[in-house]
Amino acid sequence: MARAGAENQSTDRRALGVGAHYRGAPYGLALRVSALTAVLGCAIVGGGFAAAWGTFEGVRDYADRNIANEDSYVAYADGGWFPLVKVGFVVSLLLLALALAVVSVLHAAYAVAETGPAPGGGPLTRRDLWRRTRGRLPAALAVNALSGLVVIAMACVAYVLWFSVERGEVPGVEPTPLGGTAAPQYTLVGWVLPIAVLCVGPLVYFRLSLATAETVREGRSPFAALWRSWVLTRRARWRVLGAGSLLTAGAVLFVLAARYAAGPLARPAGLGMLWLSDDNVWITGVLVMILPTAVALLLLPPVVMPLVCGMAAGRHGALRAR
């Protein structure tokens, strides 16, 4: 027991100290990836606003006509809602693809940095790191896409179960009206079970979090790397779960704090959009609403992701050595 505890403590120290000798090159690459992410992310969002510009103009004209006629109106009615939903869907897909690429690059880079110095024995430079990383990027992309699909599948199952209960489509379970006392079956099947299924997704993702390092360092196929990550974390599942939960909680707190700190930026951005759109409050409201969250998410790659990727690469090296 004492030996196992000492090994676990050594594993944690190695995981926390990953890249201490090579922190310059991985973090330098992370900064460059973060800058490129900011440019591409702003371009995608700006393209979405440009594509929806005519729709927002139509929404304003519709509202102005009803106000001038002293009629009531519903926001985004008169055919303006579905075009905006389509634009938002495309923008969301592009942003998810960008996030997948960023996560894959950084995880692969930190896994390469954990393997050791440059072939000549000198310090690892950003050029060497990128050269050794890019060859395994397709496999890293596939691994992270499969891991993300697991979480999405669990979320979809939980939502379908909850939605089915709310619509009364589950035999023997009647939805409880507002203000009524919930039946035990409704509480269990309609809330407890979906939440439990939803929580399974992150738990499985933490078990698969070493797959990128496995496919980069060992050259395994994506599916073999996922299975190997599951095997490696079998004896350390609670430590992996604890570390992953702490990092996730820290990332969420950081996003909330950064979103609050970026709140004052919404005013000058809104004024600029009002000037650019000739006082269109509809498109300005959307920009003001999403800007703080966008700024917070753009700060994740340079601030939070190095710690997450370093932890994953170090834990993989430590568990692999054991």
Residue 156 confidence (pLDDT):
92
Structure tokens given for 58: 């139509």
Give the C-alpha distances (Å, rounded to integers) separating 141 from 12, 58, 67, 151, 303: 27, 40, 51, 16, 21
Our CA angle for 88, 300, 117, nearest 5°, is 130
CB 29 within 8 A of CB 129: yes
The per-residue pLDDT for range 127-169, each reduced to its tens digit, is: 888 988 888 899 999 999 999 999 899 999 999 988 888 888 8
Q: Amino acid letter at 289?
A: M
Q: Amino acid letter at 261?
A: A
Nearest-angstrom CA–CA distance, 117 and 63: 63
DSSP state of 263: G
Between 80-84, 118-122, 227-231, 294-298, the lowest mean confidence (pLDDT) is in: 118-122
Give the C-alpha distances (Å, rounded to integers) separating 30 from 2, 25, 130, 158: 38, 9, 11, 35
The per-residue pLDDT for range 40-74, each reduced to its tens digit, is: 999 999 999 999 999 888 888 888 887 777 666 66
Strand extents, DSSP E, the chain: none
H or E element at residue 311: helix 305-321
Residues whose CB is less than 8 angstroms from the CB of residue 224 and which lie 6 or more positions away in sequence, other chains included: 215
Query: What separation, in Å, do the N-terminal and C-terminal C-alpha atoms of the chain show?
Result: 15
- Three-class DSSP category at 78: coil
Residue 174 confidence (pLDDT):
75
- Please report where in the chains the tokens 């000037």 appear, as a residue: 275
Across the chain, what does the average pLDDT equal?
84
Q: Amino acid letter at 176?
A: T
Q: What is the largest CA-CA distance in the chain?
A: 81
CB-CB neighbours of 290 under 10 Å: 13
Question: Model confidence at 181, in pLDDT bands (50, 70, 90)?
Answer: low
Residue 258 has pLDDT above 90, yes or no: yes
| Predicted TM-score (pTM) of this structure | 0.85
In terms of pLDDT, which residue wins out, 126 or 265? 265
| Among 25, 217, 14, CA closest to 123 | 25
Structure tokens given for 261: 């700190």
Structure tokens given for 269: 């951005």
Nearest-angstrom CA–CA distance, 174 and 187: 10
CB-CB neighbours of 262 under 10 Å: 18
